[in-house]
Amino acid sequence: MAKQQDLDEQTPMEAEILREVAEEMKEEQLKRLWKKISPVVTGLIVLALVITGGVELYKEYQHRRSLEEAQQLQTALQLIENGKDDAGAEILKTLSVTSTRGYRYLAAFHYADYLAGRGKDKYGEAIYVLNEIISDKDAPQPFKNLALFDRILLQNESDTLNYEEMEAELDKLATKSDIWAPMALEFSADLALRQGNVEKAKSRWQQILGMSGVSEEKRVRIAEYISIMNSNADKAGK
């Protein structure tokens, strides 16, 4: 009650003086607080500017590197086309290892194709390159699938194909991906035929015909395969 009485008894001038003192005290507290936290705030601002600038520089670096790698890939292919195979192949080999972008896989596919074109004695090296794509955890799945199909073809031609392992790989791919299933099943049918298992090949073809999204051209071709197999079976039974 005494405090309230004192406040009530203040003159307007006293009240104004007290208000100014309170404001000065508040301002002084803010100054002390700013003095304490200003280094931290300044540091955060500088860090934010550095990070922003660094991101932009990194984007610019990546863009420039992509252009350089695209040019390297084009140069390598031109060298090979112009008969300078060794020089072009060396660029492809280097790019397939050092690039951190999509050109790495494009260069690897071209390099594997170059090796395969050098003859069967180079198939092993080509298969190794393809296996690097398949086992690369960062490689896009479509690249892995294409590398698998290429590897099957090379292993089949070089008589190093493990049919049971490949059947398992193809069955897994056919189950996991509707997009790649027709190709996986067609490869599986081809492997079955090479083993003399006609019924298994026909079963794979029938699976393809039962799928949606299969092109009409492929349907006609598969139907012809089945017709030929049935006709051969009829002839053999007579």
Residue type, 72: Q
Mean pLDDT of the chain: 77
The larger pLDDT score, comparing residue 238 to residue 234, is at 234
State the pTM of this model. Answer: 0.64
Nearest to 191 by CA among 206, 176, 201: 201
Residue 59 pLDDT: 62
- C-alpha 53/C-alpha 221 separation (Å) is 57
How do residues 5-61 score in pLDDT, each as one tens digit? 444 454 555 555 555 555 555 556 655 655 665 565 555 555 665 555 555 555 665
CB 188 within 8 A of CB 152: no
Query: Positive or negative, the Cα torsion across 137, 142, 143, 149?
Result: positive
What is the 8-class DSSP label of residue 122? Answer: G
Residue 16 pLDDT: 56
Q: Where are the domains of the chain?
A: 71-161, 163-238
Nearest to 93 by CA among 80, 102, 104: 104
How do residues 144-191 score in pLDDT, each as one tens digit? 888 988 888 888 888 887 888 888 888 888 887 678 888 888 888 888
